[in-house]
């Protein structure tokens, strides 16, 4: 995998490395996000000396200990060929002893696999860490893709290593502004479309071919019989959840659009009183997110909410692929491509383009380029109406309402009038001062531009959301 655009993360790692005391750094993130590449790049280029990098895997405790012993051997004196520690406590004890005479970095990748094979490892490490950390200088970095296990191990308060980490680093996806580094031949439109499908996951971006169209990439990479994408969504879920069938059913239900717990319960047959725990787990795993209408009186405490898939590829998969698996099994790829192409513009508009618009509103608010400072940015809806983009300041009683359109057509005066009519169906903000904003892939008619100038409506056009008015 190419290594690029991780300067912020490298600075964090170096900041931890240069602290005076011993450090226990936890690095986690989803599959394919580039954790291993970040660690190895950091060790090879920034640290270079006194480093031990070890990748755990699914095996027996004895075999893993043998492999680990081989890595430690170069730091030991007067040992015989084929040396192996008697047990894990002896091995880790020796690591801390080495770090008493020199600053040492030990990076353990795929940490959850190690815990699966050696359940007592956490207790041993906790005991020795507490005993030695003040008397040596070690940077212990543990890394894993199993977000749920890593969270439980270090954050939940129920495991031996709870409270021992001195730094936590969640490796996020690449921001859309930097995707051109991976796809330099793509236009901004193609980048937004690609982002709606695979997000900013480095491994996915590396596989994408920017010499071919977005649809050709879908056909040849995502729908190919030999691609990792064929089972990727299921693997992502199985990595975190041992019995994933119920969760897959929930994701499939949400894949058709925003859903309330009651709607999901009806579609899946899962009892409504059990729905909360499943949704909570999916949120913790960052597979879905909870969405609240911004005109709700008490946003922080409301139970009225909807849910949408957060992970870009899971969203694409459960929108187009999972509901149409029979076409893949029957090798009717052209039929599936027709289904995808029929409403692809709408899909991009409702996912990536709306997300970009909300991020832009947040940025404009934070830089004092709006007429007010938004407290919240998101959506607003009720039983009669839904508005894509909303920003609100309840203290000042000001709300921004916006509409996105990813279409080959220009937005016109009717689009602005429709937005105004929708706003009249929001009784909770009827006394608020309303600011309107429109976001259009292909710009606006001359009549709308003139009307927007007169009425102080903000217009943002094209894939890069350039402000026109």
CATH number, domain containing residue 386 = 3.40.1350.10
Q: How many CB atoms lie under 10 A from the CB of residue 50?
A: 16
DSSP 11: H
> What's this model's pTM, rounded to 2 decimal places?
0.92
Cα Rg, the chain, nearest whole Å: 26
Q: Does residue 195 form part of some domain? A: no
- One domain for residues 26 and 153: yes
pLDDT at res. 391 = 98
Q: How far is CA 210 from CA 183, 184, 196, 202, in A?
A: 5, 7, 15, 14
CATH number at 313 reads 1.10.10.10
Q: Is residue 30 part of a domain?
A: yes
Task: Tell me, yes or no, whether 285 and 389 share the same domain.
Answer: no
19 in a domain, yes or no? yes
Residues 420 and 334 in one domain: no
The C-alpha torsion from 308 through 335 and 246 to 312, rounded to 10°, is -30
Could you tell me if residue 299 is inside a domain? yes
Strands 167-170, 288-291: pairing kind = unpaired
Same domain, 307 and 241: yes
Plot region of 78 (φ>0 → left; ψ -120 to 50 → alpha; else → beta): left
Domain interval for residue 146: 7-170
Among the candidates 128, 145, 170, a domain finishes at 170
Q: Calculate the alpha carbon distances from 40 to 175, 325, 404 in Å.
A: 22, 38, 41
Based on the fold, state whether residues 242 and 368 are members of the same structural domain.
Answer: no
Instruction: Specify whether 19 is located in the same domain as 88.
Output: yes
Residue 214 lies in a domain: no
State both tokens at 399: 């709300």
What CA–CA distance (Å, rounded) separates 95 from 108? 13
Q: Is residue 183 part of a domain?
A: no
* 189 part of a folded domain: no
Same domain, 358 and 338: no
- Strands 386-393 and 376-381 come out as antiparallel
Could you list the pLDDT tens digit for every one of the 469 residues in the chain? 567 779 999 999 999 999 999 999 999 999 999 999 999 999 999 998 999 999 999 999 999 999 999 999 999 988 888 899 999 999 999 999 999 999 999 999 999 999 999 999 999 999 999 999 999 999 999 999 888 888 889 987 789 999 999 999 999 999 999 999 999 999 999 999 999 999 999 999 999 999 999 999 999 999 998 989 989 999 999 989 989 999 999 999 999 776 899 999 999 999 999 999 999 999 999 999 999 999 998 887 888 899 999 999 999 999 999 999 999 999 999 999 999 999 999 999 999 999 999 999 999 999 999 999 999 999 999 999 999 999 999 999 999 999 999 999 999 999 999 999 999 999 999 999 999 999 999 999 999 999 999 999 999 999 999 998 8
What is the per-residue pLDDT for 2? 61
- Say how many domains are in the chain: 3
Residues 32 and 139 in one domain: yes
Same domain, 307 and 393: no
Q: How far apart are CA 151 and CA 168, in angstroms?
A: 10
Let me know whether 397 and 445 are in one domain. yes
328 and 361 share one domain:
no
Half-sphere exposure of 347 (CA within 13 A, CB side): 23
Q: 158 and 30 share a domain? A: yes
| Domain termination site, one of 152, 170, 188 | 170
Let me know if residue 304 belongs to a domain.
yes
Last residue of a domain, one of 342, 365, 389: 342
């Amino acid at each position: 995998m190419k290594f690029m655009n991780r300067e912020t993360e490298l600075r964090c790692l170096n900041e931890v490395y240069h602290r005076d005391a011993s450090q226990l750094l936890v690095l986690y993130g989803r599959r394919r996000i580039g954790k291993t590449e970040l660690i190895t790049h950091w060790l090879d280029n920034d640290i270079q000396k006194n480093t031990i990098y070890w990748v755990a895997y699914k095996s027996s405790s004895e075999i893993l200990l043998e492999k680990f012993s081989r890595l430690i051997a170069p730091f030991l004196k007067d040992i015989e060929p084929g040396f192996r520690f008697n047990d894990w406590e002896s091995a880790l004890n020796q690591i801390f002893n080495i770090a008493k005479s020199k600053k040492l970095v030990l990076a353990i990748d795929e940490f959850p696999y190690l815990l699966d094979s050696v359940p007592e490892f956490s207790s041993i490490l906790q005991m020795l860490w507490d005993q030695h950390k003040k008397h040596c200088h070690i940077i212990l970095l543990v890394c894993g893709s199993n977000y749920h296990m890593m969270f439980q191990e270090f954050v939940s308060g129920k495991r031996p290593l709870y409270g021992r980490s001195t730094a936590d680093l969640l490796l996020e996806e690449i921001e859309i502004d930097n995707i051109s580094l991976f796809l330099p031949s793509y236009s901004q439109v193609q980048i937004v479309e690609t982002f709606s499908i695979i997000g900013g996951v480095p491994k996915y971006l590396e596989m994408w071919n920017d010499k071919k169209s977005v649809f050709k990439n879908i056909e040849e990479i995502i729908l190919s019989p030999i691609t990792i994408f064929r089972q990727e969504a299921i693997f992502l879920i199985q990595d975190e959840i041992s019995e994933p069938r119920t969760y897959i059913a929930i994701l499939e239900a949400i894949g058709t659009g925003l859903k309330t717990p009651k709607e999901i319960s009806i579609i899946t047959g899962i009892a409504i009183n059990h729905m909360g725990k499943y949704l909570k787990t999916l949120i913790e795993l960052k597979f879905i997110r909870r969405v609240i209408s911004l005109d709700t009186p008490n946003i922080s405490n409301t139970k009225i909410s909807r849910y949408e898939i957060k992970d870009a590829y899971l969203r694409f998969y459960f929108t187009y692929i999972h509901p149409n698996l029979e076409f893949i099994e029957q090798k009717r790829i052209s039929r599936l491509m027709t289904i995808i192409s029929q409403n692809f513009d709408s899909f991009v508009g409702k996912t990536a383009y709306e997300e970009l618009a909300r991020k832009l509103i947040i940025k404009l608010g934070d830089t004092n380029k709006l007429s007010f400072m938004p407290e919240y940015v998101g959506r607003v809806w009720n039983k009669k109406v839904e508005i894509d983009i909303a920003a609100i300041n309840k203290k000042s009683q000001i709300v921004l309402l916006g509409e996105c359109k990813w279409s080959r057509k220009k937005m016109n005066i009717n689009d602005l009038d429709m937005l105004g009519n929708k706003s009249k169906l929001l009784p909770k903000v009827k006394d608020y001062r309303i600011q309107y904003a429109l976001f259009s892939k292909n710009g606006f008619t001359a009549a709308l531009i003139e009307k927007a100038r007169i009425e102080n409506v903000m217009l943002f056009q094209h894939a890069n959301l350039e402000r026109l008015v």
